[in-house]
Amino acid sequence: EVQLVESGGGLIQPGGSLRLSCAASGFTFSSYSMNWVRQAPGKGLEWVSYISTGSGTTIYYADSVKGRFTISRDNAKNSLYLQMNSLRAEDTAVYYCARVKAAADGTCFDYWGQGTLVTVSS
């Protein structure tokens, strides 16, 4: 059974840093591209970042987080990470890790974690 479990969320002051983790199981983690998607309270989905399979040589970021957030993966630990620096109030959201569906022509997400809440407030 595919499982994605996020952790690392919490309350952080503006300007602070936080590192989110996503533990993957039930599939060959290194063979799948992964993403972070966030959802502010009461708002819609916002894609955050993408990392490709294997060593993750291809990475994309949303303009809203570019230069502040860094996505990475450790295939030996079956884990995905999001290092978040210079946090702002508008980064407050539930952060989901999501797997890119294989054997699809388009980019879509077939498995999602349960999410971890990040609250940026003084």
DSSP 8-state class, residue 56: T
81 binds another protein (CB under 8 A): no
Convert 34-50 to b/e letters by CB count within 10 Å (16 or more is b). Answer: bbbbbeeeeeeeebbbb
Phi, psi of 75 (to 5 degrees): -70, -30
Residue 74 or 110: which CB sits closer to another protein? 110
Which C-beta is closer to another protein: that of 17 or that of 25? Answer: 25
Give the nearest distance from C-beta 100 to another protein in angstroms. Answer: 9
101 binds another protein (CB under 8 A): yes
Per-residue contact flags (x/-) with another protein for residues 28 to 47, judged by CB under 8 A = -------x-x------xxxx
Compute how many other C-beta atoms are within 10 angstroms of the C-beta atom of residue 31.
10
Position among 3, 86, 114, 121 found at the interface with another protein (CB under 8 A): 114
Q: Decide whether 37 or 93 has the Cβ nearer to another protein.
A: 37
Q: Which is nearer to another protein, 62 or 78 (CB)?
A: 62
108 binds another protein (CB under 8 A): yes
The reply to whether 62 sits near another protein by the rule CB under 8 A is: yes
Opening angle at CA 87, ends 86 and 92, nearest 5: 170
| Strand 109-112 relative to strand 93-100, pairing | antiparallel
Burial class (CB in 10 A: 0-12, 13-18, 19+), 95: buried
Contacts with another protein by CB under 8 A lie at 35, 37, 44-47, 50, 60, 62-63, 96, 98, 101, 104-110, 112-115
